[in-house]
Amino acid sequence: MPKKAGMEKWKKKRRQEYLEMKQYRYYIFCEGQQTEPQYFMGFKKLIEENPIYKDMVLIEIEPCQAETMRVIGMAEDYVKKNKIKKGQIWCVYDKDSFPPERFNGVVERAESLNKENSELQYHTAWSNECIEFWFLLHFAYYTANNHRAEYITFLNDKFKELGIGKYQKNMQDIFKILLEHGNPKLAIRYAKRIIKDGEGKTPTEIAPGTKVYELVEELAKYLPEEVRASFIEDNYRD
């Protein structure tokens, strides 16, 4: 037992040393088990291969298999368990058919938590109704408040048109597909326009809408230059 306890203590010490090396820390908690994690793994892989930032940026992706308020609850538990004091906590979740109080409640909870520690900030990358709306914006400006099934149909038609088969929620190469066949820069521009048009409204009332672009913009800063150019405008301004 003492030997095992000593090993655990050593592992924790090593992890703490590893974290201290990382200047920029992102902890991403995804509602789904596959779709969102697969997408953000595309960023993580390229950033970890980028010699400029690979030793400076930490990206941890946690699939939650949970919804709305449970996602941020799991993020809070993770932060406490791992004694995280610094970094950005991102909750990636969908409206789906959940009631407004649960969907809007994540934003309210994040705002409350952010008053506790200025170095540890919670962010909400929500989609109304689902992350497929964010994917869709890579191909078209879309504002019709249709059921999420329509977004899947749109993506299926677009993927067939491009000769890349059928859209599936667990596609391992979804990041690559959107990068090579879609237009991330336009998707960000379209998503921002929709949010701006919905100024003063709650996330539930911005339908359709998504704030996934905020996390995408954050991560895109650390991508290799030739890839970053696909995401960030030449005259980029916050």
All domains in the chain, ordered by first residue = 19-228 (3.40.50)
Give the span between the Cα atoms of 223 and 45, in whole angstroms: 9
Give the span between the Cα atoms of 236 and 16, in whole angstroms: 35
Please report the pLDDT score of residue 17 as a whole number: 53
Please report the pLDDT score of residue 236 as a whole number: 46
Residue 225: CB atoms within 10 Å = 8
Q: How far is CA 97 from CA 19, 68, 147, in A?
A: 38, 11, 10
Residue 36: CB atoms within 10 Å = 26
What digits encode the pLDDT tens for the residues 136-162?
Answer: 999 999 999 889 999 999 999 999 999
DSSP string, 64-81: ----HHHHHHHHHHHHHH
Q: What is the pTM of this model?
A: 0.90
Please report the pLDDT score of residue 233 as a whole number: 81
Please report the pLDDT score of residue 238 as a whole number: 40
pLDDT < 50 positions in the chain? 1, 236-238
Looking only at the bridges linking them, the beta strands covering 120-128 and 209-210 are antiparallel
Residue 233: CB atoms within 10 Å = 10
User: Which uninterrupted H or E stretch holds 27?
Assistant: strand 24-30
Give the span between the Cα atoms of 233 and 176, in whole angstroms: 19
